[in-house]
């Protein structure tokens, strides 16, 4: 199916925000446009999905009328300028060198995160690494619920390794907002997850979209 193309007006109506906000995101390069030059901004559904995913919003849910994105976008507006803050030097460091073997402890923690999300019916997994601490939250029923005991029990050295492991699975590299996907086995079923990595204040944020059971 061809990728649907939306105007800035249509995106604004879909997200229930001002058209001027959409046009500002396009000008700043946060939201990719499908047509160059000075003509009206046209945005593909794929580009819109890549923009929304790191903000904890799923385009398919919005299109079905199952989400109210305006409030969440407003709360995160102050962070938008930080999504391009990763330096080229850091990006090269992430992408350099041959892939290393994944320690059993890292693979075990990653598997537990995915199983917990699938079994609890979560739509998104949020992993925020900041200050040497990896925080885990699950979006269940539209609410983001942090798992405080996860960070308390996770040995500090494993935090950055778990983040790197998920990014490697999705084949992510480079700077700014990056989107990829990977497959994982959960309770004997193969599940395809979508992952978006983006800089966050003093750290990094991973958002992993979890498909519903009917999509396996």
Cβ pair 98, 88 in contact under 8 A: no
The closest of 176, 187, 136, 164 to 54, measured between CA atoms, is 176
The 8-class DSSP code of residue 84 comes to G
Neighbours of 143 (CB within 10 A): 8
Retrieve residue 21's tokens. Answer: 């906000």
Q: Report the pLDDT value the prediction gives residue 155, as an integer from 0 to 100.
A: 86
Number of H helices, E strands in the chain: 9, 8
pLDDT averaged per 10 residues in sequence order, the chain, 216 residues: 78 86 80 69 83 72 68 50 34 43 78 93 92 90 89 86 90 75 86 88 86 66
Nearest to 3 by CA among 40, 34, 39: 34
What is the pLDDT at residue 145?
Answer: 92
Ordered domains of the chain (ranges, CATH): 5-78 (1.10.1660), 88-215 (3.30.450.90)
pLDDT tens digits along 116-144: 999 999 999 999 988 788 999 999 998 99
Do the beta carbons of residue 123 and residue 40 sit within 8 Å?
Answer: no
Residue 214 is predicted with a pLDDT of 60
3-state secondary structure of 14: helix
Q: How far apart are CA 23 and CA 25, in angstroms?
A: 5
Report residue 40: phi and psi, to 5°. -60, 140
Cα–Cα distance, 34 to 36 (Å, whole number)? 7
Q: How far is CA 186 from the centre of its chain?
A: 20
* Model pTM score: 0.57
- Of 167, 163, 164, whose CA–CA distance to 151 is shortest? 163
91-115 tens-digit pLDDT: 344 444 444 455 678 888 999 999 9
Query: How remote is the C-alpha of 194 from its chain's centroid?
Result: 8
């Amino acid at each position: 199916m061809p990728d649907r193309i939306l105007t800035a007006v249509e995106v604004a109506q879909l997200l229930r925000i001002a058209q001027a906000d959409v046009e500002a995101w396009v000008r700043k390069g946060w939201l990719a446009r499908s047509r160059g030059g000075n003509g009206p901004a046209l945005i593909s559904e794929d580009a819109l999905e890549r923009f929304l995913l790191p903000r904890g919003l799923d385009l398919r849910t919005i299109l079905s009328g199952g989400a109210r994105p305006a409030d969440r976008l407003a709360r995160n507006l102050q962070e938008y300028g930080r999504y391009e803050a990763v330096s080229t030097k850091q990006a090269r460091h992430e992408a350099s060198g041959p892939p290393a073997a994944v320690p059993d402890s890292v693979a075990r923690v990653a598997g537990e995160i995915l199983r917990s999300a699938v079994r609890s019916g979560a739509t998104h997994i949020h992993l925020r690494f900041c200050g040497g601490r990896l925080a885990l939250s699950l979006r269940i029923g539209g609410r983001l619920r942090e798992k405080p005991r996860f960070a308390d029990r996770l040995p500090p050295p494993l935090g950055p390794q778990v983040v790197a492991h998920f990014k490697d699975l999705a084949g992510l590299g480079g700077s700014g907002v990056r989107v990829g996907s990977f497959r994982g086995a959960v309770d004997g079923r193969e599940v395809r997850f979508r992952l978006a990595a983006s800089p966050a204040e003093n750290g990094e944020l991973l958002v992993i979209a979890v498909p519903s059971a009917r999509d396996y």
